[in-house]
Amino acid sequence: MPETPDPTQDNPRDFYQLSVWISWPGDPEFTNTADYTNIGEPLAIPEAHAGETDRPPAEWAHFIWLAPFSVARQAQRLKGKLHELLKNEPVRELTCRKRYFGSGRHQDELIGNSLSNVESAAVFCQGVVQSDDKQCESCLGALGPWAKCVQLESGEGHLAACANCIWNGKHERCSLWRNAQTGSTPERQNQGHQRNRPSISKKMASDAWAEAKRTVNRAKGLSAKIAQALANEQFEVASALLEEQEQWFEDFKCPEGILDLVHPAQPNSPQRPGAD
């Protein structure tokens, strides 16, 4: 298959061809009069930009902020979340992945296919570029049209997804969007994994259980020795063993779990004088 051509400059395109507002080319025989005049300039489609270098907002950012797409407007009112997005100024130029769009005209056509695509472009132009360790899983897989993983700061609903996943309404595939639904972040996920990690290893638990069994067996052994001493009328020996056994019973009045044997409870901090 032939390679996709590099982005090229398109010929100027009249504003009425892009806009939801209906207008017609001027009549060549009709000249400006006191009650009629042409206003403004024909709107041209900018050439597409590809690559990973951040550029200051330029032609495409300005183009998106005009929102000259029928999917973006109902009469003169902006649809969806565009009225919120376009309140803020862009911070970077719209930059696509290499060879995603064949030309500026192709980029214009695909952006104009749906409201979510216009929102996607606006988010890319004003959101925060995610570092490599925080990128959306889909962006790491090179999904979506834009050169970087960009997420709107404090975005809500589908705008919590990155710009690449907002494209074509695929926000639910975005790992950043899923994290936002649970209030989770990569850092919080790591903290959660750490928090849910067993506090002791299997070996520690096994050793603690073995120690508990030895303690119980020793207490049982004392009972047998006491009985034997009494049978042999060794009353002093029996008395000493009985005192030792009573101490064991005292120690075991409050049941202890295996974790208590590994991590002894810390003494309570002293109460302040007069505290209830």
Q: Where are the beta strands (DSSP E) in the chain?
A: 73-74, 77-78, 128-129, 150-151
- pLDDT tens for residues 101-123? 989 999 999 999 999 999 999 99
Distance (Å, rounded) from C-alpha 276 to C-alpha 273? 9
On whether residue 230 sits in a domain, the answer given is yes
Q: Which two tokens stand for residue 74?
A: 């109902």
- Do 210 and 179 fall within a single domain? no
User: Does the global pTM surpass 0.75?
Assistant: no
Q: Which two tokens stand for residue 272?
A: 């302040």
Return the half-sphere exposure (C-beta side, CA atoms, 13 A cut-off) of residue 167.
20
Count of domains for the chain: 2
Under DSSP, the state recorded for 102 is S
Q: Could you tell me which of 147, 120, 263 has the C-alpha nearest to residue 201?
A: 263
Last residue of a domain, one of 159, 187, 215: 187
Letter string b/e over residues 230-257, b meaning 16 or more CB atoms within 10 A of that residue's CB: eeeeeeeebeebbeebeeeeeeeeeeee
Q: What is the pLDDT of residue 110?
A: 95
Q: What is the pLDDT of residue 40?
A: 63
On whether residue 197 sits in a domain, the answer given is no
On whether residue 7 sits in a domain, the answer given is no
Q: What is the pLDDT of residue 41?
A: 63
- Do 100 and 156 fall within a single domain? yes
- Do 46 and 173 fall within a single domain? yes
On whether residue 61 sits in a domain, the answer given is yes
On whether residue 27 sits in a domain, the answer given is yes
Last residue of a domain, one of 133, 164, 187: 187
- Do 175 and 210 fall within a single domain? no
Q: What is the pLDDT of residue 204?
A: 63
- Do 151 and 48 fall within a single domain? yes
State the average pLDDT over residues 214-236.
79
Does residue 78 contact residue 72 with C-beta atoms inside 8 Å?
Answer: yes
- Do 149 and 225 fall within a single domain? no
- Do 104 and 162 fall within a single domain? yes
Query: Which residue range forms the structural domain that includes residue 226?
Result: 202-262
- Do 114 and 245 fall within a single domain? no
Name beta bridge partners: 162. Answer: 151
- Do 44 and 177 fall within a single domain? yes
Does residue 161 contact residue 120 with C-beta atoms inside 8 Å?
Answer: no
Q: Measured in whole angstroms, how far is the alpha carbon of residue 157 from the centre of its chain?
A: 13
- Do 252 and 155 fall within a single domain? no
- Do 179 and 207 fall within a single domain? no
Does residue 88 contact residue 99 with C-beta atoms inside 8 Å?
Answer: no
Dihedral, CA of residue 159, residue 49, residue 147 and residue 154, to nearest 10 = -30
On whether residue 207 sits in a domain, the answer given is yes
At residue 209 the predicted structure's pLDDT band, cuts being 50, 70 and 90, is: low
Last residue of a domain, one of 187, 221, 237: 187
Distance (Å, rounded) from C-alpha 219 to C-alpha 224? 9
Q: Could you tell me which of 252, 257, 255 has the C-alpha nearest to residue 200?
A: 257
